[in-house]
Structure 1
Amino acid sequence: MKAPIVEIFSSFQGEGLWIGKRQIFVRFAGCNLSCNYCDTPNSQNASNGVLKSPEEVLEKINELKTPDLHSISFTGGEPLLYPDFINEIVDKTDLKIMIETNGTLPDSLYKIKRMNCVSLDIKLPEHFDGDWDENILNNEFLSLKSLVENNIKFYCKIIISPSTNLDVIKRIGEKLHDKFMDEKFTIVIQPQSPIEQWKNNSDILFDFSELLGEYFEVFTIPQTHKILNIE
């Protein structure tokens, strides 16, 4: 079994609830979506990866281990295109496992044997240059349902720009609340990089936070690795 890998590297997690944790990142090539803000566009096409076996990936992980290592992050691209490959690695390591996913492959998410944290993107219509497909949101909700039912730690991440429509966020927030009324889960609002574009637009971040804070625990966290100029 092999999967296309763009890179395997050690760095600090720059996003979300595990921010600042030392991780080994395994970046897969290939994605089932094409987001216009993607900060790793070379990972969208599977042909940009080098085919590696789980054993080769584990060997590199072992080479990169440091005393401060917290976990492995499977990212992409879309790592859930390769659930069986991920399971091969999960079976052979005791390290904590993080999955960074667009959430649109609920069946693949369900297959993963062990996950200590899932970062699940909620995609907005503005994230795509073409027509918006409501099935994207529906599949994300199915993934969330699976995580809730299996008591897996997760958070939702919503990437916003200065032009993001507040009404769109309100609609998605209300739909999330309606679907998961009894769950007080966490949403991370991630201001889109580069951070300079927020210099005169930071006030709207409070509007987004207050709107979603009616139903959820909310964090507003930029991509700190971009600020530090690290991978």
Structure 2
Amino acid sequence: MKAPIVEIFSSFQGEGLWIGKRQIFIRFAGCNLNCNYCDTKNSQNVNNGILKSVEEVVKKIKELETPDLHSISFTGGEPLLYFDFINEIISQTDFKIMIETNGTLPDSLSKINNLNCVSLDLKLPEHFNKDWNEEIFNNEILSIKSLIANKKNFYCKIVVSPSTSLATIKELGEKIHKIFPNDKFSIVLQPESPIKQWKNKSNAFFEFSESLGEYFNVFIIPQTHKILNIE
């Protein structure tokens, strides 16, 4: 069994609720979406990956292991395109497992074994030049339902830009709350990088947080790995 891998490296998680944790990142090539803010464009095309076996990946994990290693993060691209491959790696390692996913492949997500954390994107129509559709949102909801039903640790992430309107965030929050009225899970609002573009616009963070805070646990977390100038 092989899968297209762009890179395998050790660094600190720069996003979300596991921020600052030392991880080994396994970045797959290939994605089923084409978000306009994507900061790993080279991972969208499956042809940019090098086919590697499970054994090769496990060997690299062992080579990169450090005393402070917290977990392994499968990212992309979209890692759930290769859920069978991921399960094989999980079966051969003893580390905590994180999946960073766009949330649009709920069936594949439900098949991943021994998950410790899922970072699940909630996409906005503005994240696409033209190909956003309601099916994207519906699949994200199915993924959340599956995670809740299986009692998996997860949080949702929304990338916001200076042009994102309060009305957009408020509408999304209310829409999700109607589906999950009894589940107050966490939502991370991630300001689009670079942070300097938010100069004189940081008041939006307070407005976004207040609009979602009625229903969810809200965090404002930028991409700290870019602030630290690390991969």
Q: What TM-score, normalized to structure 1?
A: 0.99
2:168 aligned counterpart, secondary structure: helix
1:10 aligned counterpart, secondary structure: strand
CA distance in 1, matches of 2:145, 2:59: 34
Query: Structure 1: where are the runs of 5+ without partners?
Result: none
CA distance in 2, matches of 1:89, 1:75: 14
Runs of 4+ in structure 1 over 3 Å off? none
Partner of 2:5: 5
2:110 aligned counterpart, secondary structure: helix
CA shift at 1:131, angstroms? Answer: 3.8
**Count of residues in Structure 1 that have an aligned counterpart in Structure 2:** 231
- 1:153-172 CA-to-partner distances (Å, cap 9, x unmatched) read 00000000010021111111
**Percent of residue pairs bearing the same amino acid type:** 75
Query: Structure 2: where are the runs of 5+ without partners?
Result: none
Partner of 1:228: 228
Partner of 2:200: 200
Partner of 2:16: 16
Q: Counterpart amino acid of 2:18?
A: W
2:10 aligned counterpart, secondary structure: strand
Q: Counterpart amino acid of 1:23?
A: Q
Q: Counterpart amino acid of 1:37?
A: Y
- 1:131-163 CA-to-partner distances (Å, cap 9, x unmatched) read 420100000000000000000000000000010
Partner of 1:31: 31
Change (3 A) 1:159 1:28: same
Q: What TM-score, normalized to structure 2?
A: 0.99
- 1:48-101 CA-to-partner distances (Å, cap 9, x unmatched) read 000001110000000000000000000000000000000000111110000000
1:137 aligns with 2:159: no
Partner of 2:42: 42
RMSD between superposed Cα atoms in Å:
0.6
1:127 aligns with 2:160: no
